[in-house]
Amino acid sequence: MKGTLGLVAAAGAVLISAFQLPAHHAFTAEFDVKKPVKLRGIVARVEMVNPHSWIYIDVKNEDGTTTQWMLEAGSPNVLIRRGFTKTSLPKGTDVIFEGFQAKDGSNRANGRDITLPDGKKLFVGSTGTEGPPEETKKQ
């Protein structure tokens, strides 16, 4: 029946939206889609706190100075339930961060992705070396 199929489709659409919605707030209110950032830096610390976790990375500037950026991440409760640990992103890891800068121009950004240099992916429990845990076990 048309009505019920419509409902199923609507529920499906709802599901996509639910997974894409940022954790807490309307993302575009705080961060600027016109100010994408791609930064490479060393993880200084990770604060697994609510309402948002924060990843602090030290980015080396061209003139040799360092700027610390704070990158917004998800609620640690969900991350832990999904298999992350408090050391999933260890201090000292060299990472590339992609996201959008805060509209007030501060060194704060909301994330799209964190990868390791050379395009390698970040795995849960990664110590900064390449490859998923499964492959490491084979050795």
Partner 1 sequence: MQATYRIGICAASLAVLTSISWGQSRQAIPPSEANFFIGTPAGWVHPKTPWGDPDLQGIWPLNNAGITPLQRCFARQRFPGADPEKVAACDPHKEFLTEEEFNKLKNAPKMPDRYAAAVKEGEAGRAFVTGIVDDMTPLRQTSLIFDPPDGKLPEMTPEGRRMAAAMKSTWPLPGENLVFETYHDFDLWDRCITRGMPVSMFPFRYNNGIQIVQAPGQVVILLEMIHDARIVPLNDNTPVSPEIKQWMGISRGHWEGNTLVVETTNFKAGASATNTAVIASPPGNRFPTSDQMKITERFKRINSEYLIYEIKTEDPVVLTHSWTARFPLKLEQDYKLLEYSCQEDNRVVPDWISVSRAERSGKTTAAPTRR
Partner 2 sequence: MNTAYWDLEDHSAQPGPVLELGAIGVIPAGRSVVEGGAIPYKPEAFAKKKENLAKRLKLDPEVKCYLPGVPRATYMPYPFQIVQSQNDILIAYTYDSATRIVYTGKHHDADLDTWMGTSNGKWEGDTLVVDVTGFNGRAWLDRSGNFATDSLHVVERYSMLDANTLNYEATIEDPAVFTRPWNISFPLYRHREKNARLLELKCVEFVEDLVYTDTRKPGDLPAGPTGQKR
Binding partner of 33, given partner 2, partner 1, none, CB within 5-8 angstroms per partner class: none
Interaction between residue 86 and partner 1 (CB under 8 A): no
Stretch that binds partner 2, among 55-63, 80-88, 90-98, 122-130 (CB under 8 A): 80-88
- Omega before 51 cis (within 30°)? yes
Please tell me the distance from the alpha carbon of residue 91 to that of residue 93, in angstroms, as a whole number. 6
What is the SS3 assignment for 48?
A: coil
Token look-up 């845990």 returns 133
Report which residue type is found at 67. Answer: T
Strand partners, 101: 109
> Which listed residue (85, 124, 127, 136) binds partner 1 by CB under 8 A?
124
Interaction between residue 80 and partner 2 (CB under 8 A): yes
Interaction between residue 129 and partner 2 (CB under 8 A): no
Interaction between residue 24 and partner 2 (CB under 8 A): no
> Which listed residue (121, 127, 129, 136) binds partner 1 by CB under 8 A?
121
Interaction between residue 48 and partner 2 (CB under 8 A): yes
Q: Which is nearer to partner 1, 7 or 33 (CB)?
A: 7
> Which listed residue (28, 77, 106, 136) binds partner 2 by CB under 8 A?
77
Please tell me the distance from the alpha carbon of residue 99 to that of residue 41, in angstroms, as a whole number. 14
What is the SS3 assignment for 60?
A: strand
Task: Please report, for residues 31, 67, 82, 93, 113, the alpha-carbon distance to residue 57 in angstroms, rounded to integers and kept in the order given.
Answer: 18, 8, 23, 9, 14
Which residues lie near partner 2 (CB under 8 A)? 48, 76-77, 80, 85-86
